[in-house]
Chain A
Amino acid sequence: MNRWRAFFVSTIGSKIVMAVTGILLLLFVLGHLVGNLQIFLGRTALNDYAEGLRKLGPLLWVARIGLLAAFLLHIDAAVRLTLRSQAARPVPYAKTRHSATTYAARTMVVSGILVVLYVLYHLMHFTWGWVAPQAFALTETVDGAARHDVYGMVVAGFQQPLIAIVYVVAQAVLAMHLSHGASSLLQTLGVRGPLFENVKNYVGPAFALLVFVGYVSIPAAVLLGIVK
């Protein structure tokens, strides 16, 4: 068997694929957060940023395809490994007592599926404009030319408490997934030594908290009337 193929189908190789694609997805989550937080700089700043992204043209497609590939590889490894581990214990224990694992670690499959559903909803809402077509069609006129009013669309979206709640809950699920994932990937990539011994366990929860607070600040600010 070819080296790459043998690596790719092995349990540890598949985990390393999950870890590496996980890093790419984490970087996307961070980059997207930095972009979104520009809403606090006002309508022009956010709309300039959104227009800038659109103007990237082919580069935007490179990023999109790369991101989709990372998602698919991550999910493929997750499915293969999960099925394998379910088969590894055909007869369950009558009694189990966990002593080290966390709730986040045990629910990675569920939180992962929920994150995929959320991402699809999020795309339908803000990228494809199917959820709220009127808000999606909002425009802003700059120098006589009309452009997409992302700021107005986001504010209109989160002014509806139900939609805001969906986003906050989704962020909580995402944060849970990341709190295990970001710590776990360090172990999978072989990070070790006295310097990292305890740090590894805190990296995930710290990262998850940062992401959660960052993203939730936006619907919270809209609901509280700080951003309008």
Chain B
Amino acid sequence: MQVRVQTEPFDAGAELNAFTAATSGAGAVVSFSGIVRDVDGGLQEMEIEHYPGMTEKAIAKITEEAVTRWSLVDALVIHRHGTLHVGTPIMMVATAAPHRVDAFAAAEFLMDYLKSRAPFWKKELTASGADWVAARDEDEDALRRW
């Protein structure tokens, strides 16, 4: 299990290849990457603030739960903070399991929990100013299915 919280960009393809190569006994690897999306009016940049210490602990706890619940062979979470630009990766998760059903479910679980339970806050900067991204009710509701 690997959890990385960093400011630097990363190469999701290279990370996935390295993760897969290091995984033995898995028949399925699922990955998800989140990318900085443009917004109406044009996104100049995205600022992601986080809570150092709590962030790492919260992600480790969520990841450990996923590994146990779906008997994962391995899991990877990378999440950036700081200043990000359109089209660059924000975060990725990868899960490795004997079978695909568990790898998919664990990746979705990780994503749902990272959205609403990992202490990150996004701020979008456009020509009209800077705005904190509001949490969506659907994201909170998504946790109930687990």
Answer yes or no: are A and B bound together in one complex: no
